[in-house]
Structure 1
Amino acid sequence: MYKITSLLLGLLLTAPLAAMAGTESIVLGMGCFWGAEKRMAEVPGVVDVESGYAGGDAKRVGYRDVLSLERAIQRGRSDQRNHAEVVKVTFDPGEVSLKEVLIAFWESHDPTQGDRQGNDVGSNYRSAVYTNASEQRAVAIATRDAYQEALTAAGYGPITTEIAPLKHYNRAERYHQDYLVKNPNGYCGLGSTDVAYPGEPQRPKPAVLSAADLSRERQLIVFEAKDCPFCERFRAEVLDDWSSEVPVATTEATEAPAGWELGKALFATPTMVLFEDGREVSRYTGYKGDKARFWKWLGQRLLTPEQRRIAFEQGTERPFTGSHLDETRPGVFVDPITGAPLFRTDAKFKSGTGWPSFFQPVEGAITLHEDNAHGMRRIEVRSASSGIHLGHVFNDGPAPTGKRYCINGNVLAFVPD
């Protein structure tokens, strides 16, 4: 008897409470439930937010089941209704009304995106309100219609949010609960419309960049957002040491400068947009530490076909045909994409090989990699900042290092002192 009582007590202490006295709950879908949980937990009067799955045909599901079914749906192999990632919001009606909870819901995401939310695409990321009673449904519809008026006035399309009775709710796995509390730098794909609910104070809009302060010929603009850990990471890993010849600017606004043109609406942050002649020519959305991938994206636009062949396909220019072979002015040879210093002129020497040769790189400027291609064993030289292929290093150079860094001149840019 003692063991049974202890077991029951343990279950009560570890399992989430189904209901709390004097509270009410509603289930909301607004994309990835990690960010939804964080947003709704910040609403005063909300006492608990739980991540889960709801609205699908299956009675019992887990994370892998939802992802697996979504893949089948996308490939046309299933016509089953998938569950959406949702949060069960429990609140104290004495402190916050259902209407106020739903206002926070509408303002915290973009309910016009259909089966997606930002970078997250699929029916499992749809916007949804799953109700427990007809009274909740009435409030959900009333607030939706009111918010639609505000969105329409701001230029947004129709709300796509599913409003339906709650069906087949499943609590998500333990590691999904309080995810962003446990992982402060974790992914949060939510991005609101910045449109206030009617009668609510309008959030101050971030100032749009002035075209007069930018380079119309070529300009990179990084579109950021507040409380965006990936924006902060991109700043720390890329922007803080920016030395590329491409001018860069950052903004929390979602619009292009006056007279400039975005190719399509922004839907996630950070989004890096390259403009030429005031028009978007390419964009890179999201950042998770893949620095070399970002620089490759930018390099595809900046470099010539021959430079791309060398930089990204480990190509080699023909001897005596590349740039900078006879460059002897004091200065520094830099990465053509990032602008980071690679070699100084005072480390350059005439090797007679037909390629610019150096006996020493700038400290920390390169990385070395084993290369067994073409039946040879060589050491490849790459730029540490962008990861592009530069050439190879051999042990037949002059003192003091005895090294010969044999570099393709076409993937060097020169900056005189």
Structure 2
Amino acid sequence: MKTIIVATLSLLIVMASFTMEKTVVSSPLKSNQNTSSKTDYIVLGMGCFWGAEKRMSEIAGVTDVESGYAGGDFSGVGYQQILNHEKALRADKATGRNHAEVIKVTFDPEKVTLETVLAKFWENHNPTQGDRQGNDIGSNYRSAIYYHDAAQKELALATQKVYQQALKTAGLGPITTEILPLRNYITAEEYHQDYLKKNPSGYCGLGGTGVKYPISGDKTAQDGPLSSEAMTGRQKMLNGKDLNFPQQLVIFEAENCEFCKLFDKDILNRWQAEVPVIATINTNPPADWTLEKPLFAAPTIVLFRNGKEVSRYTGYNGEQSNFWKWLGFQLLSPEQQKIAFEQGTEPPFTATILDEKRPGKFVDPITGATLFLSKTKFDSKTGWPSFFDPIEGSVTLHEDNSHGMKRIEVRSASSGIHLGHVFTDGPPPSFKRYCINGNVLKFIPD
């Protein structure tokens, strides 16, 4: 009897705490809103609903995706109350089942099947993690399928069985996704709707195991679940033995990721850097290698040394100089960093390439982009490597009034690092003297 009274009081306290918060009016599932007689809907939990909303909205035939909450014991609650309740649950100070962050996916069955929608659901998050998704931990981030009729339940269970076999074949664990009738659905606050459209550089869970769902009718589906061999290209888990063990960059990307496409366009497709790089959409580290912590956004660029993560760069929205600065701090010595990022100057007559006269090229030590050719190098007697002409477009010029002097600073166009200064006392034909710190140049002989 005492146990019952205590439990009842705990539940009343939790419910009271919800009513004390500013609440959001619970609305019934809007099956008729923004839909037609030809559309259907299903409610899915994939962790943080910001990324889930974006991923599922990219499916052809999906007409609307709405962020919300569902599957809990309470109605009339909002984002902050759900976070507070989860915190209380984890501290054993509350009872009652919490809501999961979900998305309501409305689709046209004539243009896309429910199986395809569920296939993308399985592929676009990791359904084996229990009450978490990447770095987001708690029952409010659980994987879930909330159905509204018997046909949806049957198909949800069938696709779970198919995908579980595919995961097993790939060496992954059991699915923890709950498949239950929909209850207590609540539309999320307006600022959560289309969040990544409003905030292009916002948080977006990376998700995914890299294992493809074998759609019915595919040859792979007829022959059985996808094997590890069938996960070709960037979907296949990387093998550490095929990579550069001492130092390797791995770009963890995601399907239909606009930020990943932008990174490929700006950086990866122009790669000339000395450090080897490879891209994958499999979220696991290369076999026998280790990540320091889970991935939570795409793209994530990880630098491995001797099979272990030493640094990472998360997310990309066109900020090329920030990425190259991050990489520079991993590749350059402290002396080089001072020159490159603090506009430092090496002592005269100390650069190892000062007397370099072999045919070849001088490149950016981070990006590998060619800056000067040997044929433009000359002895200026100043103690610093000097050139009368850079490769067209390889450097940028900037006014520099530091140290009480008026000078023109020279930076690398590809990485933005400080190289030196340019003066007008050089030899013909340019009569320019590009006075460059040799320690931020890498020489590559022809």
Common fold, TM-score beyond 0.5?
Answer: yes
Is 1:358–2:375 an aligned residue pair? no
Structure 1 CA distance, aligned partners of 2:117 and 2:152?
13
Further displaced range: 253-262 or 287-296: 253-262
Checking the alignment, whether the CA contact within 8 Å between 1:368 and 1:379 is kept in structure 2 is yes
In 2 relative to 1, CA 314–151 (structure 1 residues): closer, same or farther, beyond 3 Å?
farther
Residues 333 and 39 of structure 1: CA distance in aligned 2, closer, same or farther (over 3 Å):
same
Alignment equivalent of 2:59, drawn from 42, 47, 50? 42
Which residue of structure 2 aligns with residue 216 of structure 1?
245
Please name the residue that 1:412 is paired with.
441
* Distance in 2 between residues matched to 1:304 and 1:29, nearest whole Å: 46
Q: CA deviation at 1:142?
A: 6.6
Take 1:41 and 1:318, find their aligned partners in 2: how far apart are those partners? Answer: 56
Q: How far off is 1:286 after superposition?
A: 2.9
Structure 2 partner of 1:324: 353
- Structure 2 distance, partners of 1:375, 1:121, is 51
Q: Which residue of 1 aligns with 2:104?
A: 88
Match of 2:299 among 257, 270, 279: 270
Match of residue 403 from structure 1 = 432
1:17 has 2:43 as partner = no
Unaligned runs of 5+ in 1: 1-15
- Number of the residue aligned with 2:121: 105
Once the two structures are TM-superposed, the CA of residue 283 in structure 1 deviates from its matched residue by 2.7
Q: Determine the structure 2 residue equivalent to 1:12.
A: none
The AA in structure 2 aligned to 1:36 is: E
2:380 is aligned with 1:380: no
Decide whether aligned partners of structure 1 residues 179 and 85 sit closer, same or farther in structure 2, where only a CA change above 3 A counts. farther
Task: Quote how far apart the aligned CAs of 1:295 are.
Answer: 1.8
Change (3 A) 1:367 1:198: closer
The alignment partner of 1:42 has SS state of: coil
Q: Which whole-Å CA distance do the structure 2 matches of 1:411 and 1:134 have between them?
A: 65
1:408 CA displacement: 0.9
Which secondary structure does the structure 2 equivalent of 1:368 belong to? strand
After superposition, the Cα gap between the structure-2 partners of 1:394 and 1:131, relative to the gap in structure 1 and judged at 3 Å, is: same
1:393 aligns with 2:422: yes
Equivalence map 1:146-161=2 (5 Å): 154-156=171-173, 159=176
> What residue in structure 1 maps to residue 67 of structure 2?
52
Q: Is 1:169 aligned to residue 187 of structure 2?
A: yes
Structure-to-structure mapping, 1:119-268, within 5 angstroms = 126-127=141-142, 154-156=171-173, 159=176, 165-170=183-188, 172=190, 176=194, 189-194=205-210, 201=221, 202-203=225-226, 204-206=230-232, 207-211=236-240, 213-268=242-297
CA distance in 1, matches of 2:282, 2:316: 18
Kindly state the Cα deviation for residue 212 of structure 1 after the two structures are TM-superposed: 5.3
Query: Shift of residue 304 of structure 1?
Result: 1.0
The aligned amino acid for 1:205 is M
CA distance in 2, matches of 1:82, 1:318: 64
For residues 130 and 310 of structure 1, the distance between their equivalents in structure 2, rounded to whole angstroms, comes to 55
Q: What is the alpha-carbon distance in structure 1 between the residues aligned to residue 384 and residue 196 of structure 2?
A: 56
Q: Cα–Cα, structure 1 residues 195 and 223, in superposed 2: closer, same or farther, change >3 Å?
A: closer
**Partner amino acid, structure 1, of 2:438:** G
CA distance in 2, matches of 1:40, 1:258: 32
Structure 1: how far apart are the matches of 2:146 and 2:177?
A: 16
Query: Quick check: 2:423–2:434 contact (8 Å CA) kept in 1?
Result: yes
> Which deviates the most, 84-93 or 240-249?
84-93
Aligned residue-pair number: 387
Please report how far the alpha carbon of residue 302 of structure 1 lies from its aligned counterpart in structure 2 after TM superposition: 1.6
Structure 2 alignment gaps of length 5 or more:
1-31, 88-92
Give, as a single letter, the amino acid of the residue that structure 1 aligns with 2:105.
Answer: V
For residues 103-124 of structure 1, give each alpha carbon's deviation from its aligned partner in whole angstroms, at most 9, with x where no partner exists: 6534432245688756x96989
Distance 1:328 1:36 in 2: 58
Please state whether the residue corresponding to 2:186 is helix, strand or coil: coil
3-state SS in 2 of match to 1:165 = coil
Output the CA distance in 2 between the equivalents of 1:343 and 1:97.
57
Q: CA deviation at 1:43?
A: 7.7
CA contact (8 A) 1:50 1:177 kept: no
Deviation, 1:332, is 1.4
Distance 1:53 1:149 in 2: 27
Identity of aligned residues (%): 48
Aligned pairs for 1:51-70 (under 5 A) are: 51-54=66-69
Distance 1:354 1:162 in 2: 72
How much has 1:369 moved relative to structure 2? 1.8
Instruction: Out of 95-104 and 338-347, give the one that drifted further.
Output: 95-104
RMSD of aligned C-alpha atoms? Answer: 4.9
Q: 1:333 to 1:166 in 2, by over 3 A?
A: same
Distance change (3 Å), C-alpha of 1:327 and 1:160: same
**Conserved 8 A contact 1:102-1:143:** no
Change beyond 3 A, Cα 1:143–1:268: farther
Q: Match of 1:310, SS?
A: helix
For 1:211 and 1:152, the matched residues in 2 are separated by 20
* Cα separation, 2, equivalents of 1:160 and 1:172: 27
What's the TM-score, normalizing by structure 2?
A: 0.67
Q: CA deviation at 1:23?
A: 5.9
TM-score, normalisation: structure 1 = 0.71
Alignment match, 2:90:
none
Given that residues 324 and 415 in structure 2 are in contact (C-alpha distance below 8 angstroms), is that contact kept between their aligned partners in structure 1?
yes
Letter in 2 for 1:324: I
- The residue aligned with 1:347 is 376
Change (3 A) 1:37 1:406: closer
Asked if the contact 1:300/1:308 (under 8 Å) is kept, the reply is yes
Does the CA contact (< 8 Å) of 1:114 and 1:161 recur in 2?
Answer: no
Contact 2:248 2:276 in 1 (8 A): yes
1:119-174 deviation line (CA, Å, top 9, x unaligned): x9698993565958797998899789969976995545884879773343157479
Change (3 A) 1:383 1:267: same
**Contact 2:210 2:282 (8 Å CA) reproduced:** no
Deviates more, 1:338-347 or 1:256-265: 256-265
More displaced stretch, 120-129 vs 398-407: 120-129
CA contact (8 A) 2:362 2:441 kept: yes
Go from structure 1 to structure 2 and tell me whether the alpha carbon gap of 1:86 and 1:179 turns closer, same or farther (over 3 Å shift).
Answer: farther
Q: What amino acid sits opposite 1:87 in the alignment?
A: I
